[in-house]
Amino acid sequence: MSVFLEKIASRGYKITPPRRLILKVMEEKKVPLTAEDIAREIKKERPEISLATVYRNLNLLVEMDLVNKFHGGGEAALYQLSWEHEHYMICLICGKVINLTFCPLKEEINDVALQYDFMIKSHYFQINGYCGACKQKSGIGG
């Protein structure tokens, strides 16, 4: 059983088909997805699973810190498994996501936290800009 399902069970939540499928899709795709993306993918196997259920479970996963929620260029929120502690650069035009292979947060932050008696629990970065393709297409200097 995946570490995610284990955590869900260990907190007394039930392991249901929608939960299995949501996690399966996120593990397979690896990139940040909208709730709709996930629902669409799931419906290929189980068309009766509703979008509301996907949202409900994504919120649960975010609360449990198993999933990170953030916004890219578009209006809809993006969700990604948090186990890898990843950061990205997101194209504001096409939504392309470039994963970073390191955490771009300066270690200095820990000194500041200590100084203010602040306990850092999580952090997330959003680096917005234009990918090469969109720069060209839209004639933005570069």
Partner DNA sequence: CCTCTAAATGATAATAATTCCTATTTAGAT
Partner DNA sequence: ATCTAAATAGGAATTATTATCATTTAGAGG
Work out what residue 50 binds among DNA, a second copy, none; the CB cut-off runs from 5 to 8 Å by kind: DNA
How many other β-carbons are positioned within 10 Å of the β-carbon of residue 115?
8
- CB 33 within 8 Å of CB 77: no
Q: 3-22 mask for DNA (x: CB under 7 A)?
A: ------x---xxxxxxx---
Site for DNA in 52-111 (CB under 7 A): 52-53, 55-57, 59, 74-77
> Closest distance between a second copy and the C-beta of residue 82, in Å?
12
| The one segment of 11-19, 33-41, 47-55, 112-120 that binds a second copy by CB under 8 A | 112-120
The CA distance from 90 to 71, in Å, is: 9
Residue 89 binds a second copy, judged by CB under 8 A: yes
- Write down the residue that tokens 């649960």 correspond to: 60
* CA atoms of 32 and 15, how far apart (whole Å): 23
With CA atoms as reference, report the closest residue to 32 among 90, 80, 82.
80
Q: From 123, 130, 85, 131, select the one nearest 106 (Cα to Cα).
A: 123
- 132 is a contact residue toward a second copy (CB under 8 A): yes
Distance of alpha carbon 96 from alpha carbon 82, whole angstroms: 19
Residue 139 interaction partner, one of a second copy, DNA, none, beta carbon < 5-8 Å per kind: none
Binding-site ranges for a second copy (CB under 8 A): 70-71, 77, 89, 91-92, 98, 100, 102, 104-106, 108-109, 112-113, 116-132, 135, 140, 142
